[in-house]
Amino acid sequence: MTDRWGFKGILLCAVLWGSLPLSAAPLSTPTQTGQTGLVNMPTARVAEDGTLRFGFSRFEPYRAFWSSLSIFPRLELGARYTSVSHTQGLMKPGFGTFKDKAFDAKLLLLQEQRYFPAVSVGTRDFLGTRVFDADFVVMSKQFGPVDFSLGLGRGRLDGGFGGVQYQPSWAPGFDLVYEYDGTDYANDRFAATSGAVRRKGADTFSIGYRWGWLGGRLAWQGGDVGLNAYVSIPLMQREFIPKLDEPPPFVAKTEWTDVASWRDSFEPRERLVTALERQGFRNVQIFLAGRELHMGFAHRRISLVARAVGRALRSVLSLGPRDLDAIHVTYFTPTDLALVTYDFHDIPLLERFFAGNATYAELLKGMTVSYSSPDTAKQLATAPVLVEGQSPVQPPVSEKAKSFEHFQWVSNEEGHALSLRRETHALDRVRFIPLNAGIYFNDANGALRYETFALATYTWQLGRGLFVEGGLRLRLFEDVSKVVDRSNSVLPHVRSDVGDYTRDGQFILDRLMLNRYAQLRPRVYARASVGYYERMFAGLGGQLLYFSKSSPWAVDLSVDTLRQRNTDGDFGFRDYRTTTAIAAVHYRLQRQGLTFTLRGGRFLARDVGVRYEIQRRFRSGVRIGAWYTVTDGRDITLPGSPGDPYNDKGIFLSVPLGSMLTRDTQAVARFAISPWTRDVGQMVKSPGDLYTIVEDPLLFDWSGRHLLSAFHK
């Protein structure tokens, strides 16, 4: 190491710890790697719980795309993808410069107190090749607008490091940093060719600026200039954008109608059903027994069950009989599964609540919420509108449900810039999305691959819980088919031939299935499927799901007999056949928003093993998780080897688009980062995963919501 006068200066400042009072909150800005710290060095600070950051940094010879997440109040995780200038990738010619994935972690051991610093331990690049590995312990103490940090590292962080961060009150949003960089650049891989050997670390100076979610930093070290730009997203915030375009709750002034009039006249019943359908309610079913109204429906757009129920009840109170003794509302999924039933026994109390004259606590005294019974669904299924003692009446609106409405171009819906759709008043649906994109990131076959395609999907309800579902895909532009390296694993090529499927399938049958969904008992659901599940496999199978009434766990079993499809996407098949059987146990810690899943059984390449999953859901509804699979399959494709086969692993992100749009929606964007030409530990795409279908509406892992959330909106 060179001159250590900067480091000695930090030591001198450290003796002041505890002598000055704490004022402004310490900053938690990201380093070049995304980990909370100064410029290159970590501090003991961690970002606020639920803070998700994405950024790009450059400090020659290193460029990094990085992300970090405070997954718990004291635990911060990070991932980065680093490119090293003036080097050659190890995979093969054409891969470009050397690139490396790295994962970091930091744990806050001790919170800062008046006379004691915060203390954290951390690690960098602790998985895989460990090209940039380092471990450290660091402490930080703030007095006034100045935050001091001092640490000790090993590995790439060679010995002592530290720094000072100053927040000037006269320049809001700005901060100034002096850092003593303890990185041993000279011993980095490719240091001689990349130029890293010239970097001596030590004194580093920087200025940073933050504006809302955005931030950036410029740094100077030994004549080199570095930059770091990032966005910081508070996942514990419920919504990021106000619902400016959300339709208001239904309000109508009509003549007073009693139960007797409702029994004798079809017109008021038709008026209620029409009003509900215009609000987006589908498969509306109403049954009048005595002075009690039973109603069932599904809603594709509204994300919270209670909000949909509340809006339906406003319509009933406006257009239904005024002398009802009770209203029973059952919520169905778009797959026609009954989930929960709301029973209201005090109608005047319900009216006072919607008028703003009763509280939630008072409302609870006149209602109950329970898991739906199959008998309830059967009773509601008899007709769109049925009065006890009469033959089923088919209103004109039911005829309209048999035919499609006009096609509509819609923008900014469900995460698509533009789509063409038409729906029935039942659960039939046609959609055309002219532009979709798939990104394939960092595999042995290329650092980045992409495909764009147009997609048309069709859902047709044949009967109770019985659907035909299809999809056609037209390839637009892609470079996935440029994959030329064949997998050298001893496993059947269940996923590694993705390049062949992309190259050969210009216009393909994406899927074509017959699905039957059924509720066997309260909290017990089943699905049977046959057809073309996805572009690589077709089959016959089913799933059974049970979730506990009062305990935080659920179990499901999926069994599918499968055959591999031709690469050109027509109706033909390849020779490979298999049967998968995978059982899953889901356990939830609702207060923390955590779900643990253990899957075990026979996977797609006939390998047997287990898959571990963990995910956390934040108040915004965003889910972030990871999986790791261990099977008896031997995938020796790099970085696997005969002595150390590769195990499938990855990170996934699920983003409810309603938190980012001006209108509520159930649409969710799902992303996963994992090797995409691997055969070990793979599963077939489910025709309709039951746990996913019921998990969101029942808010299994969301402590910030409940089955009355947004009921009044």
Q: What is the arithmetic mean of pLDDT over 14-32?
A: 62
- The answer to whether residues 188 and 271 belong to one domain is no
Is 240 domain-assigned?
Answer: no
- The answer to whether residues 430 and 520 belong to one domain is yes
122-136, 253-267, 517-531, 543-557: segment of lowest average pLDDT: 253-267
- The answer to whether residues 285 and 309 belong to one domain is yes
Structural domain including 383 reads: 259-401
Answer yes or no: is pLDDT of 395 > 50: no
Is 252 domain-assigned?
Answer: no
- The answer to whether residues 546 and 579 belong to one domain is yes
Domain boundary among 343, 373, 401: 401
List Cβ neighbours of 59 (8 Å cut-off, separation of 6 or more). Answer: 32, 40, 219, 221, 224, 226, 227
- The answer to whether residues 425 and 499 belong to one domain is yes
What confidence tier does 20 reach under pLDDT thresholds 50, 70, 90? very low
- Which amino acid is residue 661, in one-letter code? L
Answer yes or no: is pLDDT of 325 > 90: yes
- The answer to whether residues 518 and 465 belong to one domain is yes
Is 464 domain-assigned?
Answer: yes
Q: What is the arithmetic mean of pLDDT over 17-26?
A: 51
pLDDT for 2:
42
What confidence tier does 657 reach under pLDDT thresholds 50, 70, 90? confident
Answer yes or no: is pLDDT of 31 > 70: yes
- The answer to whether residues 449 and 558 belong to one domain is yes
Is 307 domain-assigned?
Answer: yes
Domain boundary among 374, 401, 428: 401
| Count of the separate structural domains present in the chain | 3
What's the Cα-to-Cα distance from 549 to each of 71, 258, 546, 552, rounded to whole Å? 28, 38, 10, 8
What confidence tier does 425 reach under pLDDT thresholds 50, 70, 90? confident
pLDDT for 252:
79
267-271, 402-406, 423-427: segment of lowest average pLDDT: 402-406
Is 251 domain-assigned?
Answer: no
- The answer to whether residues 586 and 623 belong to one domain is yes
Answer yes or no: is pLDDT of 391 > 50: no
- Global pTM reads 0.86
9-13, 216-220, 241-245, 507-511: segment of lowest average pLDDT: 9-13
CATH of the domain at 85: 2.40.160.40
What confidence tier does 511 reach under pLDDT thresholds 50, 70, 90? very high
| Among 140, 106, 148, 149, CA closest to 126 | 106
- The answer to whether residues 361 and 489 belong to one domain is no
What confidence tier does 392 reach under pLDDT thresholds 50, 70, 90? very low
pLDDT for 441:
61
Domain boundary among 218, 234, 250: 234
Is 18 domain-assigned?
Answer: yes
In the chain, DSSP finds a helix count (H) and a strand count (E) of: 11, 33
Helix then strand then coil, % of the chain, to nearest 5: 15, 45, 40
44-87 per-position pLDDT tens digit: 999 999 999 999 999 999 999 999 999 999 999 999 989 998 88
Is 71 domain-assigned?
Answer: yes
- The answer to whether residues 395 and 409 belong to one domain is no
Query: Which range scores top for mean pLDDT: 294-308, 486-500, 645-659, 662-676?
Result: 294-308
CATH of the domain at 445: 2.40.160
| Structural contact between residues 300 and 666, judged by C-beta atoms closer than 8 angstroms | yes
- The answer to whether residues 320 and 414 belong to one domain is no
* Bond from prior residue into 642 cis (ω within 30 degrees of 0): no
For a pLDDT cut of 70, what percent of the chain falls above it?
Answer: 86
pLDDT for 230:
97
What confidence tier does 359 reach under pLDDT thresholds 50, 70, 90? very high
List Cβ neighbours of 644 (8 Å cut-off, separation of 6 or more). Answer: none
Answer yes or no: is pLDDT of 702 > 80: no
Q: What's the first-to-final CA gap in the chain, in angstroms?
A: 63
- The answer to whether residues 438 and 391 belong to one domain is no
Is 712 domain-assigned?
Answer: no
Q: Helix or strand or coil: residue 267?
A: helix
